[in-house]
Amino acid sequence: MEMDSKRLQRRPSTRPPRWSFLIAVVFIGVLLSIMTETVTVGPRWAPLVIVGILMIPLTVAIFREHHSWTRRIAFTIITVLTIGLVISVLFLIYALFKHTETGTGLFRDAALLWIINIIVFAVWYWEIDQGGPLPRHIKQPGRPDFLFPQMASNVDAWADWIPTFSDYVFLAFNTSTAFSPTDTPVLSKRAKVLMVTQSSISLVVVAVLAARAISTA
């Protein structure tokens, strides 16, 4: 019995590190809560409260290692944040044409939405690639959605390389700035749909900024 208990204690946890996900989600909620109410649905604090409520079952599922429920709740959180992002972008366009917001406020909200766009889709990419963080963590990845340069390298030092959250942030940043992937080919259909959506949102936000700048020139 003593030996069995020691083995159980030494059994490595299959729980993938999700601190990056949790921090990113809270950060998105904070950014949404500091935007003006002309580009948000309801009170500004609503997104942060919704995220906080959803984080409770997510945290419980993570610590109990209920991986299927963890993923379902994670996708629910990301979907809610994505819907909030899209609605805010639509309100931003409305504010531009109806002049319901000052120039400074419009620039500020557009900049915040551009940053939120990057983080939201970085979370999406991190959650879907190769079947999710769990298969990557236990070294049993599924079919890749993105082909990172390290994965195609013949250098032995990159043989066991797996992407981390920062790699997906870099991918999302490139997509928002160049409106396309730069050094990382997109392989799956779902990743292509997400990338088209992110590029479109980024393009709209940049177009709003340009239109406002021209109108005030």
Write out the chain's pLDDT in tens, 217 residues. Answer: 444 444 434 444 566 778 888 899 989 988 988 888 788 777 778 878 888 898 899 889 888 888 888 889 999 999 989 998 999 899 888 888 777 666 777 888 889 999 999 999 999 999 999 888 888 887 777 888 998 888 877 777 777 788 899 999 999 999 988 877 778 889 999 999 999 999 999 999 888 877 776 666 5
Place of tokens 């940043």: 173
- Segment 48-56 long-range contacts (CB within 8 Å, at least 24 positions apart): 50/80, 51/25, 51/26, 51/77, 51/80, 51/81, 54/80, 55/22, 55/25, 55/26
Could you tell me the sign of the dihedral formed by the alpha carbons of 189, 194, 195, 200, in that order? positive
Distance CA 190, CA 139 (A): 22
pTM score, whole prediction: 0.86
